[in-house]
Amino acid sequence: MDINLRFLSRWTQWVNTFFAPKATLKTESDDAQKGLISLKTIANQYQPRTGEEPVNENMSSPFICTAEDFIARESQIKQITDVINLWRNHHGEISAIVAPAGAGLSAFLGQIPSLLTNINTQQQDASTSTVKPLPEKGVIMSFYTAPLSARDAIANVCYCFDMQPPAAMTDTSITDIIIAINKLPAQLIVIDDLHKLMLRMMGNAQALVTFATIVMETRKHHCWILGCEKFAWQRLSAQYEITHFIKHVITFDYFNAKELARIQTKQLVDLGLMSDDYLSQETGNTESHRGQKSSEATHNKNDNDDAVNPYEDQLKQLHIISQGHPKLAILLLQYSLTHQADIAQSSGSEKSDNSTKHNSSTGSDNNSKQCTDICKINASALPSCQDSDLFSLAEIYVHGGLRVAQHAHIFAQTIEQSSLQLAYLARQGLIIAQYSQRDFAQHFYFITPALSKIIASHLVNNNKLFH
């Protein structure tokens, strides 16, 4: 009876929202005039204007992924280099790189091919007959369909090596596959989004065991590196004891203020709002400071005047609001620049008074400082969520996304109930839909990428996700 009542409550809430008069609905400019950006507006940055089309991922940050502009992660790069060198010296073990959603895990994994090239260049002269040569082939891939049987898991692994999976399962299928894989030339296999292999449905546990067994038995010959979201990793550790067979675990978090400022400065240069000379100067200063730390005490303060970023205050605000989440910071900056006229109305005379006092005390040196206001996030949709909504968000987050039918299976409810609940969360901007043209049960929903940290923090505070 409770389920039916909750269903009717959700149905009423959905109908009221859908049929609300247009004049009473908040618009994008309404929030902007208050210096805010809504969760729905953030979600809309990832969606095409037309209704039922695949999600547009143009908001990703290509400059973070390129080798020449890759930001920070120096210690993690060293750790993964050591892991590869251990494998070359016949001490191969499975490695995992764990980071929260949106912290740049995929971008980090994308650096591994260039890392192999650097290792090869550095160690050509030091190579000996006892050291394995670097793999001629490296594969980076992510599975978007979780296996629900041992046969599915074998097929996934075979796909890594461009092999045909067995036509039928036998008692020796796993053994035969392991032998066949170990006869292939050594490869480096990077599996991104490991959490998408874990689906809480019948058969998935055996599929994970099969996958883990094959990886474990081929780790000496092939170099396996797995990438996994932090909260999903904790669940895999608690439920499947994944740490028992993965020896090297490398972790990182969201960007600190200095790292995020470097990313945002590059964006400002790309937008034509800052000179490329400043970016070159900043890079040069960073390198010189690493080699000349002893000269910092005698460095004249006036020498640093030209290096002051004209958007320094805004970059600090961006880090505080985004909490180091790069996609969210990029989106906030673009939105704030686009809607500056609306956002400025929210501060009005208060900003003007503060600016006058500040300018009178600091003089003409601050004329180069920009007066851009950074909008804040209107996250009021999150506190209004019911427990059932939060549990749904937690499962979608940990799995990297769920189809309507999968959600219904996990929560033991009808597909229609799941469809309405997920559609409601999508209208709040908390999740994004990839629509199936054939079957609404196959609509795929995932957490709005720029909101992953905000949503995860809310779920942790409400005991739906656990450290």
Which of 23-32, 100-109, 196-205 has the highest average model confidence (pLDDT)?
Answer: 100-109
pLDDT tier at 265, thresholds 50, 70, 90: confident
Percent of the chain at pLDDT exceeding 70:
70
The correct CATH number of 9-57+379-461 out of 1.10.10.10, 3.40.710.10, 3.40.50.360, 1.10.3720.10 is 1.10.10.10
CATH of domain 73-251: 3.40.50.300
pLDDT at 378: 92
DSSP H or E stretch at residue 211: helix 204-218
3-state secondary structure 393-437: HHHHHHHCCEEHHHHHHHCCCCHHHHHHHHHHHHHCCCEEEECCC
Judged by average pLDDT, the poorest of 49-63, 155-169, 376-390 is 49-63
> What are the extents of the domains in the chain?
9-57+379-461, 73-251
Q: Are 459 and 113 in contact (CB under 8 A)?
A: no
**Bridge partners of residue 434, in order along the sequence:** 444
Distance CA 422, CA 406 (A): 12
Strands 444-447 and 402-403: antiparallel
Q: Is the pLDDT of residue 466 over 60?
A: yes
pLDDT at 413 over 90: yes
What per-residue confidence (pLDDT) applies to 61?
31
CB 37 within 8 A of CB 335: yes
pLDDT of residue 126: 54
Query: SS3 string of 324-376?
Result: CCHHHHHHHHHHHHHCHHHHHHHHHHHHHHHHHHHHHHHHHHHHHCCCCCCCE
Q: What is the pLDDT of residues 324-345, one digit of tens each?
A: 999 999 999 888 888 777 666 6
Q: Please state the rounded mean pLDDT for residues 139-148.
A: 79
Q: Cα(64)–Cα(67) distance, rounded to whole angstroms?
A: 8
Q: Is the pLDDT of residue 205 over 70?
A: yes
Of 393, 399, 452, 395, which Cα lies nearest the Cα of 194?
A: 399
pLDDT at 233 over 60: yes
Q: What are residue 226's DSSP bridge partners?
A: 96, 191
Q: Who has greater pLDDT, 354 or 272?
A: 272
Residue 147 class from Cβ within 10 Å (0-12 exposed, 13-18 middle, 19+ buried)? buried
Distance CA 309, CA 453 (A): 27
Question: What average pLDDT score do residues 207-234 get?
Answer: 91
Decide: 374 and 314 in contact? Cβ < 8 Å. yes
Instruction: Please tell me the least confidently modeled range out of 100-104, 158-162, 247-251, 293-297.
Output: 293-297
Strands 36-38 and 402-403, sheet pairing:
unpaired
pLDDT the model gives residue 412:
93
Please give the Cα distance from 373 to 197 (Å, whole number).
42
What pLDDT does 5 receive?
44
pLDDT category at 441 given cuts 50, 70, 90 is: very high
3-state secondary structure of 248: strand
Indicate if the pLDDT at residue 302 is higher than 50.
Answer: no
The percent of residues in the chain predicted with pLDDT above 90, rounded, is 35
Instruction: Say if residue 409's pLDDT is above 80.
Output: yes
The tokens for 183 are: 């006869």
Residues 394, 210, 160: CA angle, nearest 5 degrees:
85
**What is the pLDDT at residue 452?**
95
pLDDT at 156: 85
Closest CA to 139 of 177, 78, 186, 70: 186
d(CA 431, CA 439): 19
Q: Which amino acid is at 393?
A: L
Q: What integer best gives the mean pLDDT of the chain? A: 77
| CB 281 within 8 Å of CB 310 | no
Domain 9-57+379-461 matches domain 73-251 at the CATH topology level: no
Interatomic CA distance for residues 153 and 212, integer angstroms? 9
Angle at 206 (CA atoms; ends 205, 209), nearest 5 degrees: 90
Residue 204 has what pLDDT? 81
Ranking 142-151, 180-189, 265-274, 284-293 by mean pLDDT, the lowest is: 284-293
From the number of C-beta atoms within 10 Å of its C-beta (0-12, 13-18, 19+), residue 20 rates as exposed
| pLDDT for 328 | 94
Determine the Cα–Cα distance for residues 135 and 116; give it in Å rounded to an integer.
9
Average pLDDT over residues 119-147: 70
pLDDT for the residue 113: 81
Rounded to 5 degrees, what angle do the CA atoms 399, 405, 408 make? 85
Tell me: pLDDT of 425 over 90: yes
The per-residue pLDDT for 76 is: 93
Cβ atoms 419, 66 nearer than 8 A: no
